[in-house]
Structure 1
Amino acid sequence: MPMADPDPQPVFDENFVKGATFTEPSAEERARRPGRRERLRARRTARRYRAEADPARGSRTAVVQVIAGVLALLAISTALWWFNRPEPITALRPPAGGPPAPAAGDPFAGSPAARYATGDEGITLPVPEALNGLSAAQLGLAYEQIKKMLVAGALDTNTVFGGKNDTFRALVDPAQLPDLKRDLDNPAAKGARAWVTTFAPGSAVQVGTAIKVHGASSARPARRQGRNGVLVKTDHNFVYAVREKPGSQQVLRVVQRWANEYFVYRDGATVKVWITRADSAAAPTSCQYGDALIHPDFTASGQGGQTTDPYNLSKPIDTAAGCQTALRT
């Protein structure tokens, strides 16, 4: 039995042949040019086929479209940021014309101190974390001790306006106290300024009860005299509102800056806090006295020398600068 042809050949009948006959266009048809609409359609078709035949061209078009989209989003984001941007921080830049004069009703209004915390709430210390052989609990106790010392030396009114430093003295390590005792026994001694803040007797009366405080602190591993421990640095402004004497109308803000260093270490089971450095600066104060007491300058005449912004905590205290004129208080 013969096998069927696996590839049968097509059979063309007479009608198919007639229908497939090519008819040459007439001269009139050849002379007729396509209209504008046909030309545009032809160009679009040609461009489409070129794009399909050139994948790289299509990808380049896609990339351009993506870039354009990104640029558009950036432009929108920039516009939204511009209209919703926060006001610039001006805490360290004196306002034009200077701040308004302090008033007894609100002595800190118009100054950076108005945004400071009140009292010991403004004293910041690091979050206790285990460091260099001391546990978080041990450092927590040390930080609390440091805060108490700052409060006793710069916020206790008996110390600041009364010239007494018993509270601060009781917080100092007994082994270090003999080194400080000579200064603390005589608040007017030059060395006393390193440990406590005290206004000269009869030089100022506190206005209200608030003392404004602001600052920062840090802690890092350290080694001192063969002992491992933690070096704690504190840097704070204490702002006092004072008048020269009871009944005086003039009110003055005095800015006292404290930059201290403490070495915290273990002595057996006991945690020790040792004062290793204490720098301070006050403004506006009179420079004609050679003691360690604060003598507020109510004359507003300035003390000559370089100008300084006592609210600027970004620079270290220049202990060799001598008398300076405060830009603002």
Structure 2
Amino acid sequence: MGKDGGSIPDEEWERFLRNAETGTQGGPKEPSARARMVARRLREQPGPPEGWRTHQPARRRRSKGWYAVGLLVAAGLLVVAVAPERVAGWIAGGDGESAPLAAESQRPSKPPATETAQLPTVEQPFKGSPAVRWADGAAGIHLPAARATGWMSKEQVEKALDRSRDFLAESSLDAGVLSGERPRKAIALINPHQQDVQDYLAAAFRAPSREDDPLLLFSRFEDSKVRLVGDVVKTRGRITFREGERGAVEVTADVTYVYPVVRAAEGSDEVARTIVRREVVMSWDDPAKVIVEPGTFSFVSYKVDTTNGGCDTFTGYFNPEFRAERATSGQGDDREVDPYDRSDSMDERMRDADDEGCGTATRS
């Protein structure tokens, strides 16, 4: 939001919408989410991805590992849990008194260092993790300085950036959403005229599936099974923007969230962590060219990479495992992933992944 607290004038939005509704030649077009694929197809096909409505799901391959890969918009995967014997390789992020890291204004050149293992506790749920030095909640999401871009002035871009971060907070940090509530505030920021996304949202909360999984965009836990430890979610990531198609302001958010949880049963004190990295690309479209409601954005793509959230399960909720469960789940395949490594892009992460089965995370 600008220094004067101003926003995009309602009269301007409404004028664009009235022009769009006239149906005149060259009027605004209905947006669509572009290119929904699975990771294997992204890796094997060097050309542009196929439209997500035309995708035929690949035959499912079963595996005993815990790094699960699922269908995403524009490609993606789900990473689930760590093998118990990998605990010795977990890092010690500090004792809770380490100096916080500076904001991530650009992609790091290497993953965080690995140190001696330390298990998390209810009092220190991020102990033994790089996240112990990360910021809390939305404070860990770096915003760039605004500048006039595309159809928007500097003040309008600033508002679009703020609202983009609002969407991340409402979809991945809101206490009610994390406990399983429908993310109404987050959904209200999505352009209702983007029909393919609206179809996905309707299906995802009615009948979650590989193709229509709410966890692609929203973080949700089933409160009858697990509960968050405290009220802090650690985050690290950044928002960038550029001019997109038809003069839109295209905002990309690449953020990792760390959720500490315990079993819902009274007195439970074993802490497990679910780690979620999401890349969301949002288009703040020019209403003169795209049918859009004021104050809402259209999706270009979204990708997710989740550790200890459930392997090949599509219930609409993360399903973290604890030590006893991991000990009996078997081993993952040979593919290993560091969930705290933000030095590679999400596209690189997707290309390195298989679109089926479960692998092994090197730390939690």
Same fold (TM over 0.5): yes
8 Å CA contact 2:188, 2:296 repeated in 1: no
Distance 1:162 1:293, change over 3 A: closer
Q: Does 1:214 align with 2:232?
A: no
Cα distance in 1 between the residues matched to 2:295 and 2:185: 20
Pairwise CA distance, 1:253: 1.6
Q: Could you report, residue by residue, the CA deviation over 1:69-98 in whole angstroms, capped at 9, with x for unpaired residues?
A: xxxxxxxxxxxxxxxxxxxx998245244x
Deviations 1:95-132 (CA, angstroms, capped at 9, x unpaired)? 244x3110111111231101111011112232211112
CA distance in structure 1 between the partners assigned to 2:200 and 2:300 by the alignment: 12
Return the alpha-carbon distance in structure 2 between the equivalents of residues 313 and 201 of structure 1. 29
Q: Is the 8 A contact 1:255 1:283 kept in 2?
A: yes
SS in 1 for 2:191: coil
Partners in 2 of 1:113 and 1:91 — Cα distance?
15
Map 1:101-116 to 2 at 5 A: 101-116=119-134
Q: Which has the higher helix share?
A: 1
Is 1:236 the counterpart of 2:293? The answer is: no
For residues 198 and 189 of structure 1, what CA distance do their matches in structure 2 show? 15
Structure 1: distance between partners of 2:138 and 2:207: 23
Alpha-carbon separation, structure 1, partners of 2:313 and 2:297: 33
Unpaired runs of 5+ residues, structure 2, are 1-107
**Conserved in 1, the CA contact under 8 Å of 2:280 and 2:301?**
yes
Are the structure 2 counterparts of residues 163 and 287 from structure 1 closer, same or farther at C-alpha, using a change threshold of 3 Å? Answer: same
**1:267 and 2:287 are equivalent in the alignment:** yes
Q: CA separation in 2, counterparts of 1:172 and 1:294? A: 23
SS of residue matched to 1:171 = coil
Give the superposition deviation at 1:184. Answer: 4.7
Within the candidate set 276, 280, 293, 2:317 is matched to 293
* C-alpha separation in 1, matches of 2:260 and 2:359: 20
- Which one scores higher on RCO, CA 8 angstroms, separation ≥ 6? 2
Is the contact made by 2:120 and 2:271 (CA closer than 8 Å) also made in structure 1? yes
Maintained 8 Å contact 1:102/1:108: yes
1:29-66 Cα shifts (integer Å, max 9, x gaps): xxxxxxxxxxxxxxxxxxxxxxxxxxxxxxxxxxxxxx
CA distance in 2, matches of 1:214, 1:91: 15
Q: What secondary structure is seen at the aligned counterpart in 2 of 1:257?
A: strand
**Considering only CA atoms, is the larger Rg found in Structure 1 or Structure 2?**
1
Q: How many residues are treated as equivalent by the alignment?
A: 237
SS in 2 for 1:267: coil
Q: 1:221 to 1:303 in 2, by over 3 A?
A: farther
**1:253-274, Cα deviation, whole Å (9 max, x unpaired):** 2111111111122214956521
User: Do the aligned partners of residues 275 and 179 (structure 1) sit closer, same or farther apart at CA in structure 2, a change above 3 Å counting?
Assistant: same
The one of 308, 333, 339 equivalent to 1:284 is 308
Amino-acid identity (%): 25
Residue in 2 that maps onto 1:54: none
Gaps of 5+ in 1: 1-88
Within the candidate set 314, 328, 337, 1:308 is matched to 337
Contact 1:206 1:240 in 2 (8 A): yes
Is the contact made by 2:259 and 2:274 (CA closer than 8 Å) also made in structure 1? Answer: yes
Secondary structure, aligned partner of 2:176: helix
Question: Displacement, 1:137?
Answer: 1.0
Give me the TM-score of the superposition, normalised by structure 2: 0.59
1:324 is aligned to 2:359: yes
Separation (CA, whole Å) in 2 of partners of 1:193 and 1:119:
18
Task: Determine the structure 1 residue equivalent to 2:177.
Answer: 159
Q: Give the Cα–Cα distance (whole angstroms) in 1 for the partners of residues 342 and 176 of structure 2.
A: 27
Q: Does 1:168 align with 2:186?
A: yes
- Structure 2 counterpart of 1:328, one-letter code: R
Equivalent in the alignment of 1:194:
216
Distance 1:144 1:187 in 2: 32
Contact 1:188/1:293 (8 A) holds in 2: no
1:116 to 1:290, Cα distance in 2 relative to 1, 3 A: same
Other-structure match for 2:118: 100
Q: Is the 8 A contact 1:265 1:271 kept in 2?
A: no
TM-score, normalisation: structure 1? 0.65
Q: Given residue 222 of structure 1, which amino acid in structure 2 is its aligned partner?
A: G
Please say if residues 287 and 303 of structure 1, whose CA atoms lie closer than 8 Å, have aligned partners that are also in contact.
no
